[in-house]
Structure 1
Amino acid sequence: MITGEKTTGTALLLAAAPTGKGRLIDATDALPTLAAVPPSTLTRTAAGTIVELADPADQQTVLTRVRAAAAAPGPLSLLLAGQLHIDGKQGRIHLALARTTPATLRYTALPWEWLVNELKPRRPNCTRAIVDLIADPDAWRQIRAHGLTLGPGVSLYGRVAPALSRRRLARPAYLKAVAGTWRSGLTPPLPELHAKAAAEACHDGALFLAVDSMPAPVPAGTTAAPLDGAAEDPLPAILAAAHAGRHGEAASLAARWEAWALQTHGPGSAQAIHWLEVRADLAHLADDPGSSCELWMAAAGARLARHQAPDAPAVQAAVDRAHHQWQQLRDPQRARDLGPRLVSLRRSVPGQRPGATEAVQRRLEMLHSMPRALP
């Protein structure tokens, strides 16, 4: 407890993930850096309480701590690292805890809805949450489609990344970047802090969250605010338009957001690459493999230009997706035009599958001999 005469605040540090082979993220890796941050920075007050939960095992214990923190007067900061799963029976998102397994998810994990409900009675605009989360495939699909919030009046900033491999634990790089900025003595506004952390964290195709409790200015022609200072994340609405068949509308909105990212953060920034990859996904949904291939190649090139390693998961994923989209092309001339660029990229980023570069070369040679039909 930090004593003082001014308003008392609370910071709840929750880092949780299953023990054993079900663990997708080393959630507690961020706690030592956060522990070195001045408590007044965590609570945003001169006096406050810091509550730390490292790999808790019991959902009721966590609920009790969350409830006590939410009931406390003054500002509340929730700093959360962990992994998300879907309850197959009810389709609800859960935060996994230490004893969580797929079979026991409903009884050993913390329903995200519980967090929303505990924060709901709090006075608006005095609660902020900063999260660094990994989502399993089912949770990732739901979050990509519908977004993730903690209810009205709560600022939610952070990232949610898809689970890549059970053989390689993810790291809470975003939350560590936030803690590193605070530890250096800087306390920028939350949107600025978010932009800095997002640029530093290797996000592997992650969704960056920027849901502010107070509205922010929006780019002309859009219906949501920028990712770095936002009223809501525009991506769910864009994807909803695409899935509804309004591909032109979705592509136009994504292009406007990419232009905003280029103007605000510059070419090659993490934000600009994010929207480039969104456009690549939208082209795939619109059944335009040529454009999707070209955009994924551009995204891979941008990541390499940022000095990301050729074997970095996000770089390999971009090249693999470009390769896959190129294989879907049924226009021989378009495939021949894009083929040499893909070969060059494959030589730099061969990927995990042996012979990928040679496969592109063979198919390109076949295309030149079969101008009217693709193999």
Structure 2
Amino acid sequence: MSGSASFVYHDQAMNYRFHDQHPFHPLRLQLTLDLLSAASALEPSRIIPSRPATDEELLSVHQPAYVEAVKALSRRRPEAEWIKRAEEYGLADEDTPYFAGMHEAAAYVAGGTVTAVEAVMSGRAAHALHLGGGLHHALSAKAAGFCVYNDAAVAIAYARRRYGARVLYVDTDVHHGDGVQWSFYSEPEVCTYSIHETGKYLFPGTGSVSERGEHLGYGACMNIPLQPYTEDASWLECFEVSIRRLTDYFKPDLIVSLHGCDAHALDPLSHMHCSLAIYNQMPAILHELAHTYCEGRWVAVGGGGYDMWRVVPRAWSLLWLEMSHHPLKRELAPERESSHGISLPQSWIDKWQDHSPVPLPSRWLDDLTRWEAMPRRAEITAKNRESLAVALQDYPAKA
């Protein structure tokens, strides 16, 4: 198997766009591509063009009536009867409103993640990243939470069908990865893991520790719901302990991970207080696990993240730096004293500052000396450890 990492991308990814004021805006992806380019971190030879998912691939997860509805509402002038039925399919609210070209754009998103899985499972690449992916809230017959087709679920179904792979899905978005979980809730060969802000206060309201799978899939589902205002240390403690235990228990052939970066303190749609540190360290943990258990087979996708100027480009770039073994990632290692002082490329800042409504960051990592600690830190940490203990109770630790 090649030791390289591939970057899956197609210009069609920019067409997955609800409207200019919508928080899930493809400019996030453009900002990241430009940052990687400015950092000389994305070689053209690593880029693999994606393709649209076929109807057969979409139907491995989604209901035929739903795909028909998405296609009908994608026309420039949908028929009145379909507009009346849009709410039935989750395509009429402000989160996920239908738009012209929706089916084609969403099919390219799903196809991009399938392309990433094919690159890794065929041996063309050890790792593959598709930042345009990460639509984890889409359900079998309904759109939800900015998501039309569930690209992660479609790609996992492809890996199962084509390669018989045993798949571990790891979701680090601040919102619970509900759509992927429900797609494989009774499937013993797909294990779903999600670490997120508790659903007591945040969409989609699911993801409790009691959701553990059903029937033959019982035990192949783990959720780590964390308290609002969780900080880096508690998030990373819960993530590292749980994902190491689960990976050793499940022993996957392939890891598929989703990297929403909306647990950051600056994100406007959640209530967490993490920094870029978790987005620097979580990929490193997954990278190690992929080589320990899967002969390196690792596919990663994007996800949420709604401070698109200050957070998303840095977090997603850090993911690629890790996957591609870029020398800059070693300089940003947390044990290096100089890591927090490494500057972003000035050319990137100069290009985008006039477009940004906020001052752009000057460094790759956040300067935590300027951050105030949460007053309930000890209580939050204790609550998170309680949830962690409950989640791990059925998974024996290594002797």
Same fold (TM over 0.5): no
Greater strand proportion: 1
Q: TM-score, normalised by structure 1?
A: 0.34
- Structure number with bigger Rg: 1
Highest relative contact order (Cα 8 Å, sep 6+), 1 or 2?
2
| Structure with the larger helix share | 1
